[in-house]
Structure 1
Amino acid sequence: MSVSPSPITTAFTAQSTADEVVAGVDLSGTRAVVTGAASGIGVETARSLARAGAEVTLAVRDTAAGARVARDLTATTGNDDIRVAHLDLADRSSVGRFLADWNGPLHLLVNNAGIMATPETRTAEGWELQFATNHLGHFALALGLHAALAAGAAERGGSRVVALSSAGHMYSPVHFDDLHFHRRPYDPMLAYGRSKTAVVLFAVEATRRWADDGITANAVNPGGISTGLQRHFPRELREEFARHEAAGVFRYKTVRQGAATTLVAAVAPEFANTGGHYLDDAREAYTVPDDADPAEHPHAVKRWALDPAAAERLWSVSAELLRAAA
């Protein structure tokens, strides 16, 4: 992993849009997968990639919705190389079918799909749903696509994985002694936070393990965007977010602005062949101690999310969970 002496910056800002990031970028011949691309920022991520000429596979739970998005993307970009594939990240058999159907190299994997603050729910394996979806499902997907990403890297001099995290990572590290809330009372926001910390740790360890194959991974915080992701928010949490916005702690972005940081990690030359970073507002975020107040540092990354020892441990634990459930 390449370690920069100071945070990596770009010409883009919190106000930049995804289309601005890809302006002048030619992605002809690039094969990309975007999970959760039937709604929200996933749609705009896929749209900008398609506008730049990429072949884009929309990996979605609702294939009918995916087909509607594909038609819209073709109509708005002129790119008819948009594909739709079923993928339910909380269902191991669905991930397996997606992987079995994939053929050829892959140059860009965008782990965009996610759920937030859901009521306590468990998968068939007994895994907590947010951890299973946001981390384990994407982990299994990336593992299964490793050979395709390596082949893509050999073609293009590098392939990239972009993993969507959140400022929510600042509220919880990964608790290895109780990954699935079997011992602690379930808290939907803490569960969300640890799943998003896991996403960053994945990017750290994936880069360490796969950099020699030409594969790098970075995590991004898209920022505050009002989408269906917040549908499980209780009233008090919505009121808290409103107070934070009124106080200037953060500002809601448009969906196209929300997709911009993903596109920076995906195509910006500043992040070519360097990984294990956490991006916020189109640049690498600054790091703060684990006890830092999230309200005072909404655009930072906590040390626990970049800890190489925790990243290595999470990879091993996650791989074992998948093996045990096979």
Structure 2
Amino acid sequence: MVSIVDSWDAFKELVYVMWTAIHLYILGAIYVLKELNRKTQIISSVRHLSTDDTDLPKRLDNKVAIITGGSRGIGLEAAIVLLLKGCHVIIASSANPKTLNQLTNTILATVNQQNTRKEKIGKLEIWRLDLLSIKSVQQFVDKFHSSDVKNLHYLVNNAAIMFAPKKVTDDGYESHFEVNYLGHCLLIWALMPVMVASAKRCGQRSRVVNVSSSTHYARDLRINDLQSEDIYSPFHAYAQSKLCQIMFTYSLNDWLATHPMSGQYITVNSLHPGVALTELYTNVWWVKMLPALARALFRTSKEGAETIIYATISSELEGVGGKYLEDCAIIKSSPFSLNKQYQQKLWQKTWQLLEDQIHGLPNPIDS
């Protein structure tokens, strides 16, 4: 028999889910209007990035990039641009290991089809990475260090899940928090030493790019319930994980500023890629019901990759870190994301959770 307490808790969670959904759908409506303006340029001018823009390098030979979630959607479109410019791209994918070879061939076929200039394309590798598992992140890092890849110039943290049903991972974390945020934090920290060394060798700073979301504007951190144990909403869980990414970006930028041995060689920025119609919207009911409307309102994956490409390789951002970007421009993130006190609290909690995984690396919470 269901107790009164259980019924009350279920009612509270239902109200909370509805409330957070309303927040995000209102914000979503605003961003759909922004997408319409981007298409029409009626209200304001919005930059459309071309891969031939003068602030983008024509070639990226001898450069190496890792893109999480790069086997589809906006991550794939960014990978294709880098490959066409001659970059060595390692896609970190959670795809079935048995399909990775076929996936590699499929992507290369697409790249070759788009290579109208018949220039040398970069090397493509797809490595297994399941961000639902801290162990998988460690195995990915170990594979990188044991491989013949000695440089890393660009780390694009793009993989994500959105509005997923409640799930606790085998590591004990809420799934949005681990996939979108915590796993990427460990990946960044573990690969920072090689990014520093790569920057020293090539004379240009390495770049960390965190692909976040405009949904962060709609939510604040539940700093004492980051795992959504007290009450769960998929809408809050997603938005909070993206807010965490942005706040981590600011904290990492501050840490780098006080550690010049690393900071002079790495920049870190976060961004909203725009409302692009990708598989990320699998759990959005109206997109499933009205796909034609979604196609009319949203940008394509290729358009969604533009700000990622800009943040990763544009000369305009050389030496620029600790910024939040939309439509290839620096803008202000939410007031809450700029709160230094909460940035520091999140920074401390993050490294407490990852304490056992960062032995032998620089101490992220030293003075």
CA RMSD, aligned part only? 2.5
Cα deviation for residue 163 of structure 1 reads: 0.3
Matched, 1:199 2:245: yes
Separation (CA, whole Å) in 2 of partners of 1:319 and 1:115: 22
Task: Output the TM-score relative to the length of structure 1.
Answer: 0.82
Question: Alpha carbons of 1:148 and 1:238: their partners in 2 closer, same or farther (altered >3 Å)?
Answer: farther
Among residues 64, 67, 77, which one is paired with 1:44 in the alignment?
Answer: 77
Cα distance in 1 between the residues matched to 2:75 and 2:310 = 14
Aligned to 2:273: 222
Q: What is the CA-CA distance between 1:204 and the residue it aligns to? A: 0.9
Change (3 A) 1:16 1:139: same
Unaligned runs of 5+ in 1: 1-11, 288-300
Partner SS state of residue 164, structure 2:
coil
Report the residue type matching 2:275 in the other structure.
Answer: G
SS of 2:303's partner is helix
- Secondary structure of the residue aligned to 2:91 is strand
State how far apart, in whole Å, the 2-side matches of 1:20 and 1:46 are: 17
Greater Cα radius of gyration, structure 1 or 2 = 2
Comparing both structures, which one devotes a greater share of its residues to helix? 2
| 2:155 alignment counterpart | 109
Unaligned stretches of 5+ residues in structure 2: 1-44, 359-367
Task: Give the letter aligned to residue 86 of structure 1.
Answer: R
1:231 lines up with 2:273 in the alignment: no
Alignment of 1:66-85 (within 5 A): 66-72=103-109, 74-75=111-112, 76-77=114-115, 78-85=120-127
Q: Separation in 2 of the partners of 1:283 and 1:192?
A: 24
TM-score normalised by L of structure 2: 0.74
Say if 2:354 is the partner of 1:316: no
The aligned residue for residue 143 of structure 1 is 189
Question: How far off is 1:312 after superposition?
Answer: 2.6
Q: Secondary structure at the match of 1:45?
A: helix
Partner of 2:338: 306
Question: Closer, same or farther in 2 for the Cα pair 1:110/1:21, shift >3 Å?
Answer: farther
Q: 1:59 aligns with which of 92, 95, 110?
A: 92
- Determine if the alignment matches structure 1 residue 98 to structure 2 residue 140: yes
Q: Is the 8 A contact 2:51 2:81 kept in 1?
A: yes
Aligned length: 293
Shift of residue 58, structure 1, vs aligned partner: 0.7
Amino acid at match of 2:142: A
Quick one: which amino acid aligns to residue 150 of structure 1? V
Structure-1 separation of matches of 2:125 and 2:206: 20
Q: Are 1:158 and 2:205 counterparts? A: yes
